[in-house]
Structure 1
Amino acid sequence: MNNSESYPPILRHLSHPRHHQPDGGDPIRESEPDPLPLIDLQLLSHDMNMQKVLEDACKHWGLFRLVNHGIPSTLLTQLQHQAKQLFSLSFESKQASCNAADPVTYFWGTPALTSSGTPLTTAPQNINWFEGFNMSLPHLSQFQPQLPQLHSFRDTVVEYGEHLSRIGRRLFEAMVKKLDLNIEASSSYVAESTGIMRIYRYPKCSNSDVGLGMEVHTDSSVLSILSQENEVSGLELLKDHQWLTVKPVSNTLIVNLGDMMQAISDDKYKSVTHRVKLNNEGERISLCYFVFPDEELEINSSNYRPFTYKQFRTQVQQDIKTVGNKVGLPRFQHTPHSSHENLQK
């Protein structure tokens, strides 16, 4: 089968340039080999210097590279290999492999922050150039897919998800130590019951004008943990009004803070603005874990009126339908700031 035929039909012809809306940043900045803050998970519990690096990363970057995370490199390689096999199947078989009632859904072209699984029928200039699988980790082990490739991938993701849940808890506990917050149960803020995995495939494209792999956005999560093992770059973060490329480095993870972490920290920590550009060297596969607070846990902050993640998610979905984009945290501020709202778009 021709590789392009494995993509959804609307993504097979990358020849429709579009004009981008302002994205809040200057042209991409070529920087030193890896400017990202580096966090060693094994040192984090007892090394004061490493704890300071983490605090600075949360305040000034909202993103960092994680090493010594305890995930076997063989597992990371296996995930990429199985994901590539799964995505190489025909579009029709992937589309038929799961439905909206399953803990696994297949989606494409939808903004990163909408509910997934709804086929897109709008014009190409309104889409993001990717396809993906959304997996609800708490219910994944009970899912019995018909596709052999999805069945084996499910088993690997279940194992991977256990590692990510452990990492998320350790990172969150280390982050809040410096915030002087009265948080007794971190499991309510990084709740295992909320964990999801999204596996994305972005097509190769030599025409940079065709659009973005994923639009400019912030995540709604507490933490997002990304694996990008196949050496094809695309992820970019907005830092000091310039775009920086987050280069893939084998056996490392990229951790970024989301809106819930920014609200929990009373804006001391940063929900990072990021996007995905298409790459002309090859298609890109990434695996991202998102973790959220318990739906009914009330988040209290001096900068925001009290809200739950459930209320936040409902507001995001409503804004996407009514104004066409996520507004996010400014909706819950005591005094909204228009400049912050524009950055979140």
Structure 2
Amino acid sequence: MARSLNLEENCFLNQYGDRAIMLQRFNLYPRCPRPDLALGLKPHADGSAITIVLQDKEVEGLQFQKDDQWFRVPIMPHALLISVGDQVEIMSNGIFKSPVHRVLTNSERDRITVAMFCAPESGKEVEPVEELIDDKRPRLYKKVKNYVETYFQYYQQGKRPIDAVKV
């Protein structure tokens, strides 16, 4: 990602610290008799730096939002879906966007997924890479420490956590 922006190769990784956090979550979305009334997971963007998802190989449910429209993520068995989280959006000064997504329920089948969240070590400060700030692209985000705490505080309120760290 850094190379695609003509930056020093480790400029994002350097913000992770020596003990990056990697959490796995196994998700079961049980059959729902009324999928029109219940979401598997409400709309949100991930607070991680990078998220890696192994989707269910038969049951769809993941959708991403773009321009206020929802788009389904097609099933690609055994493929990993990689998405950018809020912390990379901060580090890239908004060049890489953390997408809002949700999970739908299914009336006929359970859906199982595995997600792995990669984030900088706890207590590490994250901020836009200096080379991505100039007169044409001013700093968009504050330096933030313990972003995950901010993330859960705002997520519970139904707000986009990344809005709390905008300049």
TM-score w.r.t. structure 2 length?
0.82
1:316 to 2:151 alignment: yes
Secondary structure in structure 1 of the residue aligned to 2:143: strand
Letter of the 1:251 partner, please give it. H
1:304 to 2:141 alignment: yes
User: Are the aligned partners of 2:93 and 2:140 in contact in 1 as well (CA < 8 Å)?
Assistant: yes
Shift in Å at residue 248 of structure 1?
1.8
Greater fraction of residues in helix: 1
Which residue does the alignment assign to 2:166? 333
- Inter-partner Cα distance in structure 2 for 1:290 and 1:197: 6
Change (3 A) 1:218 1:191: farther
Of 177, 194, 206, 2:3 maps to 177
- Inter-partner Cα distance in structure 1 for 2:102 and 2:96: 19
Change (3 A) 1:191 1:280: farther
- Inter-partner Cα distance in structure 1 for 2:55 and 2:14: 27
Of 226, 231, 246, 2:53 maps to 226
- Inter-partner Cα distance in structure 1 for 2:49 and 2:13: 11
Change (3 A) 1:190 1:224: farther
Where do 5+ consecutive residues of structure 2 fail to align?
129-138
Shift in Å at residue 282 of structure 1?
0.4
Which residue does the alignment assign to 2:99? 272
Change (3 A) 1:263 1:204: same
- Inter-partner Cα distance in structure 2 for 1:179 and 1:221: 20
User: Are the aligned partners of 2:17 and 2:120 in contact in 1 as well (CA < 8 Å)?
Assistant: yes
Letter of the 1:315 partner, please give it. T
Residues 214-260 of structure 1, C-alpha deviations (whole Å, 9 max, x = no match): 00000001111100143101111112322111122112111111101
- Inter-partner Cα distance in structure 2 for 1:261 and 1:185: 8
Of 84, 95, 111, 1:257 maps to 84
Letter of the 2:4 partner, please give it. K
User: Are the aligned partners of 2:57 and 2:78 in contact in 1 as well (CA < 8 Å)?
Assistant: no
Matches within 5 A, 1:146-295: 175-182=1-8, 183-184=10-11, 186=13, 188-189=15-16, 193-295=20-122
Shift in Å at residue 313 of structure 1?
2.0
User: Are the aligned partners of 1:192 and 1:291 in contact in 2 as well (CA < 8 Å)?
Assistant: no
- Inter-partner Cα distance in structure 1 for 2:109 and 2:45: 25
User: Are the aligned partners of 1:191 and 1:292 in contact in 2 as well (CA < 8 Å)?
Assistant: no
Letter of the 1:285 partner, please give it. I
- Inter-partner Cα distance in structure 2 for 1:259 and 1:184: 16
- Inter-partner Cα distance in structure 2 for 1:216 and 1:184: 30
TM-score w.r.t. structure 1 length?
0.42
* Bigger relative CO (Cα 8 Å, ≥ 6 apart): 2
- Inter-partner Cα distance in structure 1 for 2:103 and 2:73: 10
Q: Post-superposition, which runs of at least 4 consecutive aligned residues in structure 1 deviate over 3 A?
A: 180-185, 190-193, 317-321
Aligned residue pairs: how many?
A: 156
**What's the % identity of the aligned pairs?**
28
Letter of the 2:104 partner, please give it. K
Where do 5+ consecutive residues of structure 1 fail to align?
1-174, 335-345
Which residue does the alignment assign to 1:166? none
- Inter-partner Cα distance in structure 2 for 1:237 and 1:191: 32
Shift in Å at residue 298 of structure 1?
2.2
How much is the aligned-residue C-alpha RMSD, in angstroms? 2.2
Letter of the 1:209 partner, please give it. D
State the structure with more CA Rg: 1
Greater fraction of residues in strand: 2
User: Are the aligned partners of 2:45 and 2:160 in contact in 1 as well (CA < 8 Å)?
Assistant: no
